[in-house]
Each structure stands twice: as C-alpha cells, then as structure tokens.
Structure 1
Amino acid sequence: MSSTTRILILGVLLDGPLHGYKVRRQLEMMGADFWANVAYGSIYHGLNKMADEGLLTIVESGKAGKTVYELTDDGRHEFYRMLMTLWYEIKPVVDPFQVAITFMDRLDKPTLMDALRTRAEQLTASLAMSERAYGSKQRFGAPRHIDETLRLNIGMLHAQLEWCRQAAQKVEDDELP
C-alpha cells in the first residue's frame, strides 16, 4: 500500500467509523483513483494492515460481512504527521512520460510525430473529462476544496498539452530531437 493510499484512508476515517466499502466510496467521490493512483483493491488490505499496526481499531465485525474501522489516537497522529510532511516536503513528480522524452531521439521523425499527436489527443480527452467533473462532486457530498485537486490536475494537463504542441512543431521544424 502506498503512503498516498495510507494517508487517504486515515483521512477519510477522521470523521468517524466506516466500513471498507464506505471508505472506498469516499475515495471514489474524491476522484483519488485518477489523481492519487489509488488502487481500490488495496483499500481492504490497507485497513487490515493499519488495524494490525494499531492505527485503526475494529469497532464492529461480521455484521453482513462488513467490518467497521475507527481511527485510534495513534492513527490520528500518523495522519497529521503524514499530512504536514506532504505540505512542507517538495518531491519530484514521477512521470513515466519523462522517460519517453529522454529517448525521443531513438524514434524516427514520423513515429515521434505520431506519438506526440496521439498524446495530445489523449491529453485533450483527459482535459475534457476533468473539466466536466470540475464542480460536479459537490452534488455527491464532496467538500468544495476537493475540486482543487481537479483544478491542479487540469493545469498540469494543460501544461503537458502545450509542451506536446510546441515539441511537435520543433520536431516538424527539425529542431528536435
């Protein structure tokens, strides 16, 4: 389980006990699968692991097959420790696309142009999807600030789309690679 998934689970449980399905639904409402790369299958494993570590306690078990988890004081402290680390620690964004850029010189011009055009199309589609989702999460009970993750993601998608367009022009003009 990633540290991102860990803090998201702990954060969802700040408001009170929930069973795994409700934790998952809260993360889905936030769009965490998209911007935080949360694998929903890892949530149940994460809940059990954090219960074993004493960060969560099981307050109800077995009723209709649902286990209800609650944050312990240690879990609350771990959440805030991790949260403050995320606010103050700058880490590089790991993007596999940068690996592709590193080796763009290994592709012939038509292949590289096709890859850039295809990526620009995919980015445009992702932008449209993100822009449609912006503002809609409140209808499902999400707090307003959840849209800020979308707004940040939209900005990053715009930046990458602009880079692709400029790079394609440079490749076309034989300025790259």
Structure 2
Amino acid sequence: MSSDADIVVLSLIAEQPRHGYDLDRVIERRGYRQWTSLAFSSVYYLLKRLSERGLLEPDDGSEGRRTVFRVTDAGRHELRKAAGERVLAPAPPAAGVLPALNAYARLDEPELVAALAQRAEALLDRLDELRGLRARVDEEHALAIFDYEILRQEADLVWTRTLLKKAGSDED
C-alpha cells in the first residue's frame, strides 16, 4: 500500500521525469505541503524507497545527487491502484477535535467556548492562507485540491460557529 506522499511523488514523476530538487520545487509551488507531510529531506527518502520497490528507476544516463527518475510500469500500476482507492473512499473526519469534545460535559463550559472561539479564528486565518496559495497556482488539479481543502475548512468553520451559538457565545 502506498502512502499519500508516495502517490504525490509518483504522480509528479509520471507527469515528467524529475530529480529530487525539481520535485521539491513543484511540491512547494503547488502548495502540496498544505495537505501532505512532504519535507525536503523526505523527498530523497521517498525516491530511494520507491526505487527499491521497483516503482521508479533512473532515467537513461542519470546518476548521482541529480538523478532524474521516471516511473516504471509497476509504478504506473501502483499509482492507478492507490489513487483509485483513495478517490473511492470518503476520508474520515479529522479525529483531533471530535474526541476532544468528550472532555467537556457541556458545550457552554467556558474553557470549551474559549477554545472554539480560538478555533474559529485559526480557521479564518487558515482560509486566508489557502486562498492566497490558491491564487499562485494554475494547474487544474492543484486548483481542485485547494478548492476541496477550502470547502472542508469552510465547513469546519460553519460547524465550529454552530457549536459556539449552541453554547450561547457571541462569536460569529
């Protein structure tokens, strides 16, 4: 089973052969770090691991630190399979906030109301950040990713504000 990071790397190399630095620049430019944990150092680790699994191979005549990789037939098969599974499976809700609500006996507890108000502010900041990043990309699939994440964050904000209203807060 491939991880989300594996799918991102495979898909970017499936677009065109790339080396690690180029991958990192594309990941940064398209804002993929907003929704997946792909640090610069992990790009090289993933390239090595995907190569060891036979999903990537060096492009002809390419070696060393600037090794350019291409996707193998097995890599294309794995990419289609893993991507297809994820498209079909609805993502579970983010677990962080849901179990945390169980820590409070009532929605109007001052600590919960304060935390929810801070959450609403953080969501507004996050939405501003996402919208700014979206304005910098022009690839259709990258725009679709940002649109999805913006809608998720907007829904979270509506949910958070609904809880605040139920708690009798003045937060809007």
Match of 1:34 in 2: 34
Q: CA deviation at 1:132?
A: 2.1
Q: Which runs of 4+ in 1 moved over 6 A?
A: none
Counterparts of 1:87 and 1:34, CA distance in 2: 19
Q: How does 1:37-52 map to 2 (within 5 A)?
A: 37-52=37-52
* CA displacement, residues 20-47 of structure 1 (integer Å, 9 cap, x when unaligned): 1111211222211112333443221111
User: 5+ unaligned residues in a row in structure 2: which ranges?
Assistant: none
In the alignment, structure 1 segments of 5+ residues that lack a partner are none
1:55/1:76 contact within 8 Å kept: yes
Moved more, 119-128 or 99-108: 99-108
Q: Residue deviations 1:78-113, cap 9 Å, x none?
A: 111112112222342343122222323389822111
Equivalent position of 1:121 in the other structure:
121
Residues 33 and 40 of structure 1 are in contact (CA less than 8 Å); yes or no, is this contact kept in structure 2? no
Indicate if the aligned counterparts of 1:116 and 1:164 stay in contact, CA closer than 8 A: yes
Which of the numbers 152, 157, 160 marks the counterpart of 1:164? Answer: 160
When normalised by structure 1's length, the TM-score is 0.84
Q: Per the alignment, in what secondary structure is the counterpart of residue 18 of structure 1? A: coil
What code does the residue aligned with 2:103 have?
A: F
Partner amino acid for 2:152? M
- 1:23-79 per-position Cα deviation (integer Å, ceiling 9, x unaligned): 1211222211112333443221111011111111123112xx322211111111111
Q: Percent identity?
A: 30
Matched residue pairs, number? 167
Q: Look up the match of 2:63.
A: 61
Q: Which residue of 1 aligns with 2:9?
A: 9
Aligned to 2:76: 76
In 2, the alpha carbon distance for the partners of 1:5 and 1:131 equals 23
SS at the partner of 1:57? strand
What root-mean-square deviation, in Å, do the aligned CA atoms of Structure 1 and Structure 2 show? 2.2
Between structures 1 and 2, the one with greater strand share: 1
Structure-2 separation of matches of 1:75 and 1:46: 13
d(CA) in 1 for partners of 2:156 and 2:94?
14
The 3 A distance-change label for structure 1 pair 12 and 124 is: same
